[in-house]
A and B are shown apart, each in its own frame.
Chain A
Amino acid sequence: MADILLQLWGGFLVAFEPLNLMLVLIGCTIGLFIGAMPGLGSVNGVAILLPLTFLVPPTGAIIFLAAIYYGAMYGGAISSIMLGIPGASTAVATTFDGRPLAKEGMADKALTAAAVASFVGGTISVVLFTFFAPPLAHVALFFGAPEEFSLMMLAFATFIGLGGDDIPKTIFSICIGLVLSAVGLDIISGEPRLIFGDIPGFLHGINFLVLAIGIYGIGEMLWTVEENYKAGGASMLSKAVVSVQRTLANLKELLGTWKTAVMGSFLGYFVGILPAAGATPGSLMAYGVARQIARDPQKFGKGSVDGVVAPESANNAASTGSMLPMLTLGIPGSPTTAILLGGMVIWGLEPGPRLFTDHSDFVWGLIASLYAANLFAVIINVAFIPAFIWVLKLPFTLLAPIIFVLCLVGGYAPTQDMHDVWLMLLFGVVGYLMRKLDYPLAPAVLAIVLGPLAEPALRQSLLINNGSFDIFFTRPYSAPIMITALVLLALPLLKPLMRLINGKKAKA
């Protein structure tokens, strides 16, 4: 313990060198803006700025990239809340309640909640990281395909009941998301599948962002165009106000959500460690759990502050968590950490079990800089809230074309393929038409995120086990996760049954 504190102190000395501190500050700011752009997330930020870091020494360079990563995680919430477009898959869950809050004129509350929750999540996870890195890395190593699939089942299970009241339409939405996620290459058989009309653009599959920007960006904006027309051109994208008093009141209200934030942080951190998918499943599960344990679950999806706090604390905690397998095992838990890993290799910092002993000054410098990055990011984020609110006050007919342009460019940027821009427009228009008929679309977006993680894991597990399902129940880590998932899935079915039995008893 004393040993760790001493090393951490050494780390702080590295992190607080003026150059490194400045890099953290710049990194957080750049990350914040990149994360706030729909379509651009931490992956793009880190990948694009990788060559820039050659100007500084290795430790500084990695600190800079990690700060961008952190900043982008904070920034992702901004477009989710303000525009309803998740900038990255990690911020999908934030739209569920962040957007309704903004629509009711409480964008400032949602943005503050997101920033503070991110700070709590980030800080708790860095503390966990500081004290429990190596033993947890061991767990991550044994996490194979069966465990991944069980985890995905659990993520789905926490989301039961997310859709609307129309059950066939909800199931339809989940399935279409899963089917679209299967487009591209089937990695098990190595064959291309669902390549409509042999168009090469389908070979890389349908990127989550294309569907998300299509539905939440273009589709949502067309919906607003209609509302705006019906309201005679008077509608605003969000009613928004901001003032010091309001901010203080918001902060005070946030104190009431501390349980959610702590839950989200722990959940996010532990899911983030697992080398499956990084922050996305973590934030989704935290949202699901928060709703399950909330006193007023019906408020979720309609503008619950807890619904913003849970995913935001979790996705930041998970991004710290996903650095653990990267540093200790050399396994990236997310695409962003994969690039960070590449960066480290370029600078001769070979990640792996020996990094902690061979380059302990680097490791501890990085950990200490994460503490600093958190602090800077929350301050910068809160400071910018008035500016964001000001943007929301623009008339709809000025804001709308800007958002449309952001969508078009955001659809192009990740793959740099025009094919995706067309596809996004198509999803937008079809999504708009379906939404008018009460088809819930959030399940489709979730499904396209989780599908590509779940299907290969399922098939790899079965392949390993000669096609038998018992593998999910015989492995020490997989079994409890899978059983929890099945119980959660069965609960909604059991409840009416119980009520039926109890009702009969009461009658009798």
Chain B
Amino acid sequence: MRKAEFVMAVVMGIFSLYLMWKSAELPIGWIPEEGPGGGAWPFWLSAIMAICCVMILVNWYRRKTPPSQSDEVYMDRGTLIAVGLVAGALTVTIALFYVIGVYGAIPLFMIFYVRFLGRHSWATTAAMATITPVVMFFFFDIALKITLPKGLPIVEETIFYPLYKIFL
């Protein structure tokens, strides 16, 4: 935990400096008779962020906050696997939106989560993997007319064109 506190403060400190540098693309000073320039707001706030990071590091050094005192492991192996699997699955799902679309990726995510993480029966899994996209299609694409990503054109042309014909 103590190590993580240090690393996070350093990373966020560097991020703050990056934001300051990036904000400085626009004037950060005071323009006479006009007020602050376009970069001033983010620049000075990022500067405060950087100062906060230094203060967090001071607190870390003096062991004043709970995370800087704790010797607990920040993320044990099991947690890392449990959380990592979910975060990884989400990443893959979003990436698949581009290829097989929301309606292809969501059922796969459901199968992965319900069957392999949740260890539910195949029947439950199948129900979840079919009901979710069907409800979503009718709610978003048909009722609300929010077109969710369909992936590659070939997917849309073969599967969704007939559906549009029927329901739109």
Contact = CB atoms under 8 A, between A and B. Distances in A.
B12 to A, nearest CB: 7
A188 B38 contact: yes
B144 A401 contact: no
Contact of B22 (A196, A404, A412, A436): A196
Interface string B73-115: 0110011001100110011011001100010001001100110
A168 B79 contact: no
A437 B38 contact: no
A436 B4 contact: yes
Q: Most chain-A Cβ atoms within 10 A of its Cβ — which of B5, B49, B90?
A: B90
Interface stretch (A54-62, A175-183, A330-338): A175-183
A467 B117 CA distance: 59
Nearest to B109: A401
A402 interface: yes
Interface residues of A, number: 62
Contacts of A455: 41
A64 to B, nearest CB: 15
Contacts, number: 176
B143 to A, nearest CB: 8
A83 to B, nearest CB: 16
A438 B66 contact: yes
B52 A175 contact: yes
A397 interface: yes
Contact of A412 (B26, B36, B38, B148): B148
B132 A437 contact: no
Q: Most chain-A Cβ atoms within 10 A of its Cβ — which of B42, B78, B114?
A: B42
Main secondary structure, interface of A, reads: helix
Given A421-B94, A421-B97, A455-B41, A226 B79 contact: yes
B130 interface: no
A44 B36 contact: no
B23 A398 contact: no
B23 A397 contact: no
Nearest to A218: B90
B134 interface: no
Contact of B42 (A168, A182, A421): A182
Interface string A378-409: 00000000000000000101101110110011
A143 interface: no
Interface size class of B (residues with CB under 8 A): 35 or more
Q: Most chain-A Cβ atoms within 10 A of its Cβ — which of B35, B59, B79, B91?
A: B35
B146 interface: yes
A443 B135 CA distance: 35
A401 B110 contact: yes
A467 B42 contact: no
A13 interface: no
B45 A412 contact: no
B113 A169 contact: no
Contact of A193 (B38, B79, B114, B124): B38
A160 interface: no
Contacts of A429: 87
Given A179-B45, A189-B37, A168 B91 contact: no
Contacts of B37: 189
A226 B75 CA distance: 10
Main secondary structure, interface of B, reads: helix
Nearest to A49: B144
A193 B102 contact: no
Contacts of B82: 225-226, 228-229
B35 A467 contact: yes
Given A175-B49, A404-B90, A48 B38 contact: no
Contacts of A438: 65-67
A269 interface: no
A222 interface: yes
Q: Most chain-B Cβ atoms within 10 A of its Cβ — which of A48, A175, A412, A467?
A: A175
A44 B53 contact: no
B65 A166 contact: yes
B154 interface: no
Interface in B13-31: 19, 22-23, 25-27, 30-31
B90 A409 contact: no
B150 to A, nearest CB: 12
B152 interface: no
Interface in A71-102: none
Nearest to B66: A438
A344 interface: no
Interface in B35-60: 35-39, 41-42, 45-46, 48-49, 52-53, 55-56, 59
19 contacts: A166-B56, A166-B59, A168-B56, A179-B49, A188-B38, A189-B37, A191-B38, A194-B42, A225-B83, A398-B128, A401-B109, A401-B114, A409-B148, A421-B97, A436-B74, A455-B41, A462-B35, A466-B34, A467-B32
Given A175-B48, A182-B42, 5 more contacts: A44-B146, A179-B46, A222-B87, A408-B94, A425-B90
Interface of A: 34, 40, 44, 48, 166, 168-169, 171-172, 175-176, 178-179, 182, 186, 188-189, 191, 193-194, 196, 218, 221-222, 225-226, 228-230, 395, 397-398, 400-402, 404-405, 408-409, 412-413, 416, 418, 421-422, 425, 428-429, 432-434, 436-439, 455, 458-459, 462-463, 466-467
Closest 7 CB pairs of A and B: A397-B118, A462-B35, A401-B113, A168-B55, A172-B52, A189-B38, A229-B82
